[in-house]
Structure 1
Amino acid sequence: MTAPDRPAGAAELKGTAVTVAGLGVSGVPAAKALHRLGAHVTVVNTTAGDKQRAEAAGLEALGIAVRLGDDAGSPARLPDGTELVVTSPGWRPDTPMFAEAAGRGIEIWGDVELAWRLRGPGAAPWLAVTGTNGKTTTTRMLAAILGAAGLRTAAVGNIGVSLLDAVLGEQDPTGESGGYDVLAVELSSYQLHWAPSIRPHSAAVLNLAPDHLDWHGSMAAYTADKGRIYQGNQVACVYNTADPATERLVREADVAEGCRAIGFTLGAPRVSELGLVDGLLVDRAFVPDRQGTAQELAGTADVQPPAPHNIANALAAAALARAWGVPPSAVREGLRAFRPDAHRIAEVAVLDGVTWVDDSKATNTHAAEASLAAYDSVVWLAGGLAKGAEFDELAARAADRLRGAVLFGADRALIREALARHAPQVPVVELERTDTGAMSAAVAAARELARTGDTVLLAPACASMDMFANYNQRGDLFAAAVRALAGPADQTR
């Protein structure tokens, strides 16, 4: 195949035998796109449920070969004649099929790498975002700001919109770009691992904390994959001044000549930083006189919700937008127009002076710590699948804020033990039941612990799949249980 720093192009993929690993939200678009480009595509997937069989039938109707379950092998076998592997992000690097491919000298691309290689002439540049937490919110804020500036844009990537579809959809049949001026691209550590060639216009790493270590194998490997986002940046590498590891990644990156390191901070900004001054988001990075002046961009009241970690997200989004040349007025307008997705610090109700907040998206310790830090007195609902995480640091930092804790899920004992070590004064209710009805029991227990002025906060610090379909269902059940407490009174929001 082609050298990593050059787009592959449709012509070079035509006739190539490509194996697509995974039959899901990224694998299906990749298979279809490769088929349209004339590649000989085989999709392998180790599971064979009703959903997978339906997807397979649709692909086979197009002439794409599919191997499911036992036919794919367990673990999946590399089909004979494979010349390129395109993998879904969730497939682990230690998958035997990938070792076999590497042994044969066959390249392995992710769907993001494929999208990058297939960009046409004049394709929209990428403003890219990664980090342990806040990626989706920041990417959507960025898209809102770019849109407020009148730019044709979209929030794509790990955010749920296929980056491959966005890249191919912006080209007309002659290959000329015609869809977007710039793309706001969310990238996960999984996606970055399989995307060695991408070179964004500018990029941000929001924060780094242990997550997905079972997939990456170590914190060092996880951090290195995150750092790939800075490689080849042209204008700005945006980092978090409160997280020195993000700045180290900038220093280690091989970037284009003239690319700048731009920090964001919740304090007063230094030169080449964005930060806060008297309740205002200000810019000392993209102004003519960085030494002597700062440009007002927005007020903290323009950011909803105005929790500290969400203000940090807004500053990172603003930094990337300013790197593109967006005027200050668009930053304010975009942030005012932005509304967070469900289950992200969402206020559900105020009942008898107690505020109930759904942050089911807080699926790791770093996200939960940021959420807990936004409130002074908290009854904390937590638990689920720990994904190898430890909870001592979180328990120690949250101890003074906790009125009580209600724990549920497969790994609840890890949180209970951490609280016993670092916050023994905090009353803990531990629920043994693991059916979805446990959420109603958790809400009832939290109500008994809460006092006027408290916040009952669902910030589980864990994944949801032990008890729920996903974090969305977990949050929905929490909100439903809270609203059931409200009864007919109009106290919900």
Structure 2
Amino acid sequence: MTNTDTDTDFTDLPVVVAGLGVSGISAARVLRGLGASVTVVDGGSGAGLRARAAELEALGVAVRLGDGDSLPEGTRLIVTSPGWAPDSPLFAAAAAVGVEVWGDVELAWRLRKPLPATGEPAPWLAVTGTNGKTTTVQMLASILAAAGKRTAAVGNVGVSVLDAVLAEEPYDVLAVELSSYQLHWAPSLRPYSAAVLNLAPDHLDWHGSMEAYAADKGRIYEGNVVACVYNLADPATEALVMEADVEEGCRAIGFGLGAPSPSNFGVVDGLLVDRAFVQDRATNAAELGAVEDVNPPAPHNIANALAAAALARSYGVDAKAVREGLRAFRPDAHRIAEVGTVREITYIDDSKATNTHAAAASLAAYRPIVWIAGGLAKGATFDDLVQGAAERLRAVVLIGQDRAVIREALERHAPDVPVVEAAEGQTGAVAMAEIVRTAASLARSGDTVLLAPACASMDMFTNYGERGDMFAAAVRELADPGE
């Protein structure tokens, strides 16, 4: 079985699926439906896993719980869930006997079906980056839908990529979000066009180094047909384009917040502009919409919109559909969501900002700010973040387990900014109510209270969604304490 084999016969093929999560269950079901002899392995053994195992066993899938390390005898292929690290003992055992490892994206890529109209599979417009992937892919799907295409946001968001490629009613084109994990396990992937939005240290414990992380992100450009879209403000993304092996004629297309040079996308007098996919791009440009068409019109979100527009235009979408798609787009919860205004203070929920790169983008969108920050830092450092945001800060409310590392960065780079530590030893709604009251007491009329913690949430909340929901509830309580 080779990386170029796209016609694998799965009948009776002994396949191991690594992981009994959502993607693992989906892969196991699909492979069993293709006739494979499927064994799912997972190191856990809790009640939830046992219930999932029973459902798969009813379909004829073997399940091994409590043992995710050993390779079942006779295995010919492993399909892994994205989170399994490359140095897992299971994969070492597979490498020792020449067994390939695919991710769910690789499996989906190989199972694509030709469209009746073209005789070719639906093209993939793919997006990766440290931050902004989900928003950009959803914007892209909205634009494609406005152009009259049957499409979906798939991959690391929305519809399962396996479900999308096997859908009874085929899609015309797919907007595909891909994580670095998924790209690592997708050696055959060759998107029509792709974008890397940005690169910042993240998941380095999984990848082993920043170089390995960047290399996996860069895989998204391999074999691109029309456009490799990169961020003009992030030279590392352009470097990945330069290293990629693409189809002849594929172009490097940059996006940025300034006036674009030929072959790029940018902003001129509040308008989103394309100087790449127009005739005589040396002298012409296409107006794609206004900054106000982007929701919300924060700088990093305008950049997301330009990346989405570049991918859509590479596929031939007209300028009118770009504008209509951006106007129709509504962001997911907890992504720079305006919760409300209480006594002339605006409250913004960006609980999804779980790393420093995401928080920096959020902090750049407002001033003056009472910043709520902290949680699980995941080994991150905060000097660059604080240094870049210092002039925007009215005050800071620190929360969570790793607050000390943020406090130390504030002492070094923003010593005059008041810092209050809230909710020590508390969790959940009680903690968040105190946090919001503290932030409100520090804010002045016209300020923004910004929940952009730059940290994971699990020390105090179930997840970032619960953190954001409890923030919104606490703000509502401020607005009407009698409810």
TM range (shorter): over 0.9
Q: Does 1:309 align with 2:308?
A: no
Give the Å deviation of 1:444.
1.3
Task: Say if 1:234 and 1:259, in contact at 8 Å, map to a contact too.
Answer: yes
1:214 touches 1:387 (CA, 8 Å); kept in 2? no
In structure 1, the partner of 2:29 is: 32
- Which residue identity does 1:470 align to in structure 2? N
Out of 112, 115, 120, the position equivalent to 1:119 is: 112
Deviation at 1:80, TM superposition (A): 1.8
Q: Does 1:85 align with 2:86?
A: no
Summarize the Cα distance change of 1:255–1:434 in structure 2 as closer, same or farther, 3 Å threshold: farther
Residues 259-291 of structure 1, C-alpha deviations (whole Å, 9 max, x = no match): 000000100000100100000001000001100
SS at structure 1 position matched to 2:400 = coil
Aligned counterpart for 1:67 among listed residues 59, 64, 69: 64
Aligned pair 1:254/2:253, yes or no? Answer: no
The aligned residue for residue 223 of structure 1 is 214
Deviation track 1:134-184 (CA, whole Å, cap 9, x = no partner) reads 0000000000000000011000000142101111115xxxxxxx5111000
Structure 1, unmatched stretches of 5+, are 171-177
Aligned with 2:40 (options 34, 39, 43): 43
Task: Name the CA distance, whole Å, in 2 between partners of 1:13 and 1:467.
Answer: 45
Structure 1: how far apart are the matches of 2:443 and 2:44? 44
Contact kept in structure 2, 1:7 and 1:119, CA below 8 Å: no
Instruction: Report the AA paired with residue 159 of structure 1.
Output: V
> What's the CA shift for 1:489?
9.2
> Percent same amino acid among aligned pairs?
71
The 5 Å alignment of 1:468-483 reads 468-483=461-476
| Residue of structure 1 aligned with 2:352, choices 353, 356, 361 | 361
For residue 283 of structure 2, give the secondary structure of its aligned residue in structure 1. coil
Once the two structures are superposed, residues 92-129 of structure 1 have per-residue CA deviations (whole angstroms, 9 ceiling, x without a partner) of 11111111111111101000011011112332110000
Following superposition of structure 1 onto structure 2, how do residues 310-325 of structure 1 map, counting pairs within 5 Å? 310-325=301-316
2:447 matched residue in structure 1: 454
Q: State the partner residue of 2:117.
A: none
Structure 2: runs of 5+ lacking an equivalent: 115-119
What is residue 230 of structure 2 aligned with on the other side?
239
Contact 1:408 1:434 in 2 (8 A): no
1:341: how far off?
0.4
Separation in 1 of the partners of 2:63 and 2:5? Answer: 30
Counterpart of 1:435, as a letter, is T
Say if 1:126 and 1:201, in contact at 8 Å, map to a contact too.
yes
Task: Give the alignment of 1:134-283 within 5 angstroms.
Answer: 134-170=132-168, 178-283=169-274
Structure 1 equivalent of residue 4 of structure 2: 5
Task: Compute the TM-score of the two structures, normalised by the length of structure 1.
Answer: 0.95
**Worse overlay, 54-63 or 363-372:** 54-63
Report the secondary structure of 1:26's partner residue.
helix
C-alpha distance after superposition, 1:18-50 (max 9, x if no partner): 111111111000000000001111111112223
Given residue 462 of structure 1, which amino acid in structure 2 is its aligned partner? C
Q: Separation in 2 of the partners of 1:16 and 1:440?
A: 55
TM-score by length of 2: 0.97
Q: Residues 405 and 488 (structure 1 numbering): CA distance in 2 closer, same or farther, change over 3 Å? A: closer
Deviation at 1:434, TM superposition (A): 4.2
CA distance, structure 2, for counterparts of residue 158 and residue 317 of structure 1: 16
User: Structure 2: which amino acid aligns with 1:20?
Assistant: V
Residue identity opposite 1:168 in structure 2: L
Do the aligned residues in 2 keep the contact of 1:237 with 1:250 (CA within 8 Å)?
yes
